[in-house]
């Protein structure tokens, strides 16, 4: 497989199914941001973190490839006229959502209760989690915009929403593991 095709030199790119769209299309912004998120998760995984978190991140990265494939598919080209699937795109379903929810609950049960918002930071690894969380929220916002125009499996939106929660709790867990300070945001009262 050749890395460069030159077909995008005109500012367009191809979706699964063959449709060409401008590179600024909301579909491209959506799956491009998911790709960016996946890269941030790789950076978190490359840090000195516990093996269980690394394995969870690998599973999540694989699911994000599925999310990207769903977002990169022209919905009009994915199904034949008889309703049969033309493109064999995997799905995001309850199993992937439950995986995130169980991981969140397990981590959260080991953490002190939150009483205030927490400032992102405290350690480089923790900061990477917060950056990934904000990229995930951006992917969710862009995907929601796309969904309004060209609907796709709504489980993708649920997955991105849950994933940002996972990344927040992972940041807190890693703060505890690393013994980094969590700085609470307490609004200052002005007279």
Each residue's pLDDT tens digit, 53-74: 999 999 999 999 999 999 998 8
Each residue's pLDDT tens digit, 112-139: 898 888 889 999 999 999 999 999 999 9
pTM for the complete prediction?
0.89
40: pLDDT strictly greater than 70? yes
CA distances from 74 to 48, 87, 104, 133, 146 (A): 39, 10, 33, 27, 12
- The rounded radius of gyration (Å) of the Cα atoms in the chain is 19
Q: Residue 169's CB: how many other CB atoms inside 10 A? A: 21
Give the integer Cα–Cα distance in Å for 143 and 126. Answer: 26
Q: Residue 61's CB: how many other CB atoms inside 10 A? A: 15
Give the integer Cα–Cα distance in Å for 65 and 47. Answer: 21
- Percent of the chain having pLDDT more than 70? 93
Q: Identify the band that residue 100 occupies on the pLDDT scale cut at 50, 70 and 90.
A: very high
CB 116 within 8 A of CB 172: no
Per domain, the residue ranges of the chain are 22-75+91-181
Domain with residues 22-75+91-181, CATH architecture: Up-down Bundle (1.20)
pLDDT at 85: 62
CA distances from 67 to 60, 97, 119, 155, 161 (A): 10, 12, 29, 9, 12
Residues 12-39, mean pLDDT to the nearest whole number: 85
């Amino acid at each position: 497989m050749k890395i460069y095709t030159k077909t995008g030199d005109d500012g367009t790119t191809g979706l699964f199914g063959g449709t060409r769209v401008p590179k600024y299309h909301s579909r491209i912004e959506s799956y491009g941001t998911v790709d960016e998120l996946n890269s941030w998760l790789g950076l978190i995984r490359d840090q000195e973190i516990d093996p269980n978190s690394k394995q969870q991140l690998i599973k999540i990265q694989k699911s994000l490839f599925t999310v990207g494939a769903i977002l990169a598919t022209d919905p009009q080209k994915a199904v034949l006229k008889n309703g049969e699937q033309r493109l064999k795109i995997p799905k995001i379903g309850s199993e992937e959502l439950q995986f995130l929810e169980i991981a969140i609950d397990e981590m959260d049960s080991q953490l002190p209760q939150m009483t205030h918002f927490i400032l992102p930071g405290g350690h480089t690894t923790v900061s990477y989690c917060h950056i990934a969380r904000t990229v995930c929220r951006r992917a969710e916002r862009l995907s929601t915009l796309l969904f309004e125009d060209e609907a796709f499996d709504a489980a993708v939106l649920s997955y991105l929403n849950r994933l940002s929660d996972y990344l927040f709790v992972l940041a807190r867990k890693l703060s505890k593991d690393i013994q980094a300070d969590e700085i609470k945001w307490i609004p200052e009262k002005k007279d």
